[in-house]
Amino acid sequence: MAVRTAPGLRDVSGPSRPQLVPSSVMAMLIFVSTEVMLFAGFISAFSIMRSTSLVWPPPNQPRLPVAETAFNTAVLLASGVALALAHQRHRRSPRRARLPLLAALLLGAFFVSFQGREWLRLIAQGLTLTSSALGSFFYLIVGLHALHAVVALGVLFYAWRRLERGWLPPSVLGAAEVFWYFVVGIWPLIYWRVYL
């Protein structure tokens, strides 16, 4: 049996402590934890505001596109599955991870584009940031998620470019994964609380 160095760990000579979790992954985990609390605060505030309203959704406001967003949610979840596949392939052979990583990137880009299209439709129907409490919370929470999705797509693109150039360290892929899984994982909660 061939002995190989543990993936994601530094292979250095001389006395050093084994790195259990790559620093980039741990830093991303800490960052994501703070972002989870940010979203938790906004979603809690939205839930309280919704419960205290006498009429919900507010009258004279367009209804949110539940069915279309359900489809978009499925696309985002598929993107997460593609990234998990890329992770598995990267452990065996980094070159084989290119296709699933690209698929995750494209599916994520589709999600953001689709959301943008839905936003344009809602704005045209009269749901704006100042039209009602629904509008202000909707654009705040969903817009914040879209911002995170765009930044995470940038990180995924950076990882994919490094893989195309020949070498993507597992620590960089791990950090990108943590960020993207956060974007994918928090969306069903947002969909459940805001859209349904």
Partner 1 sequence: MRSMPPVHRIRAAAAALLGTWIVAAPRLAEACAVCSPNDGDPAQYAFARASIFLSVMPLLLLGGIGWWVWRRARKLAADEAAGVIRLPGRYERPPVPPAEVPSPPVGRGHAIVFRPRQRARG
Give the interface with partner 1 as residue ranges (CB under 8 A): 1, 3-6, 9-21, 29, 33, 36-37, 40-41, 43-45, 47-48, 50-52
Helices of type H across 93-190? 98-125, 133-165, 170-190
In the numeric block, which tokens belong to residue 120? 């344009």
Please report how close the Cβ of residue 43 comes to partner 1 at its closest, in angstroms: 8
Nearest Cα neighbor of 42 from 145, 158, 137 is 137
User: Closest distance between partner 1 and the C-beta of residue 65, in Å?
Assistant: 25
Q: Which is nearer to partner 1, 16 or 60 (CB)?
A: 16
Contact 83, 104 (CB under 8 A): yes
Q: Residue 97 or 186: which CB sits closer to partner 1?
A: 186
Nearer CB in complex with partner 1: 160/179: 179
Nearer to partner 1, 4 or 165 (CB): 4
Do 97 and 86 form a contact (C-beta atoms < 8 A)? yes
